[in-house]
Amino acid sequence: MTDTAARTDTYTKFVRSAPGKLIAKQVGLPRPSTLPRRGDRPEPVLGPVVVLGDSAGAEQITRDLLGQGIDVRRRFDELRSVGSVVAVLDEISTPADLGRILLPLSGAMRSLAPGARVVTISRPARGEDPARDAARGGVEGFLRSLAHEMRGGATANGILVRDGVDLDAPGVTGALRFLLSARSAFVTGQFLTVSTADGSRTADLAKPLAGRTALVTGAARGIGAAIARTLAADGAQLVVLDVPGAGTELSRLANDLRAVPVQLDVTSDGAGDRLVAFLRERGLSLDIAVLNAGITRDKLFANMTPERWVPVLAVNISSQITLTQALIEAGDVLGDQPRVVSLASTSGIAGNRGQTNYAASKAGVIAFVGALAARLESIGGTANAVAPGFIETEMTAKMPALTREVARRLNSLQQGGLPVDVAEAIAFLASDEAGGLRGETLRVCGQNMVGK
């Protein structure tokens, strides 16, 4: 089982009890549903799956799912319970096409099982054909609104496939597999764009990162430790890095995972060169680099000081630039088709009161992965980011109680996420199947009510 129960907040525990459920229903209070995660729902896809759409792409998706041994239907007829819905809208040409494909789902909404998944597959607008672009743009409004209406821990997400990329490309099948799985429990109302047909299908779904070496910075505790444990569970060999002050926790994690520990301040002079030298001494070549190290020094901007501003920018974004620069320039410490995954934040998308320094650093991360993706493309590499929303960590546990409680409820799933939710998204972006995703920022936030 996951650590969901152990990390569930007091309010959620209460409203899930018999008396709490009754009171919450009578008063109209939020009633967060249990989110099945990987340990709770091991099957890769919750069936039966209904595939909507009449295009050749819909047939491709149907054949792919059937090839995985999944129960696939083309209509909702006689189904009392529906596990997943895939709406394929890749060939829509006018807004009228939206209703033709999507309206059958309306009558089946109450049949969706707890923890169900709805995924749309469509093309992004190109600014060429007004009617077609209006239809394509309409998919986004539909999907984001539908995500607000999902109940019982169900989610709704979308995949945008660039024109010229077939729907059987590894990036499409990989994104669909992730969004249909329990690994995307805290991802809803989001779109992933598959830009190229690059990448390859994962041969071993149980160990998709087998044979890969991954670096995780800021790994000693919290989200960093969850990332390391998830990558290790997926088969990766780990290099875990953190500051010398976290040496005890880092050593304990390294022992648990049989990982290689590195004590290094990523903001120190020559940190990138020292990391390269360390990797060379150990004969290690990185296939994956997860740039997770981060800090906060919150204060209203009117009271902001250099002591609060400079360290946040240095750790959260400048260190990512210098480390990746050193790894790329070294030439011999990155494997073929490297995957870089950076930690951004929803604060970098929507801003947050008292976090001008933090939001600036995280917005910088989002722009950074876009530029880095273009640089890595020539060697078959990718760079993407994950932007967590409210996640139950030691840091958020120190927030004022009322602020923390409000923050938990300001998303469509009405609860905080867990560190493992962020880790699962990173593991997907680090996989072979994510080779078609370039410069993406995937929000793991339960569809925060702020931002997009």
Active-site annotation, residues? 358
Cα 6 to the center of its chain, rounded Å = 22
Euclidean distance between CA atoms 85 and 256, whole angstroms = 39
Return the closest-CA partner of residue 273 out of 329, 231, 230: 329
Amino acid at site 120: T
Q: Considering just the CA atoms, what is the radius of gyration of the chain in Å? A: 22
The helix (H) or strand (E) run that includes residue 50 is strand 49-52
Count of beta carbons in the 10 Å neighbourhood of residue 235 = 15
CB 405 within 8 A of CB 371: no
337: its two tokens? 């088709």
- Taking each helix axis from N to C end, the angle separating 222-233 and 247-257, rounded to the nearest 10 degrees, works out to 10
Euclidean distance between CA atoms 148 and 118, whole angstroms = 12
Burial class from Cβ neighbours inside 10 Å (0-12, 13-18, 19+) for residue 274 reads middle
| Residues 231, 237, 238: CA angle, nearest 5 degrees | 70
Count of beta carbons in the 10 Å neighbourhood of residue 158 = 25
Length of the chain equals 452
Please name every residue paired with 16 in a beta bridge, in sequence order, or none if there are none: none
Question: End-to-end CA distance of the chain, in Å?
Answer: 32
Euclidean distance between CA atoms 339 and 321, whole angstroms = 15
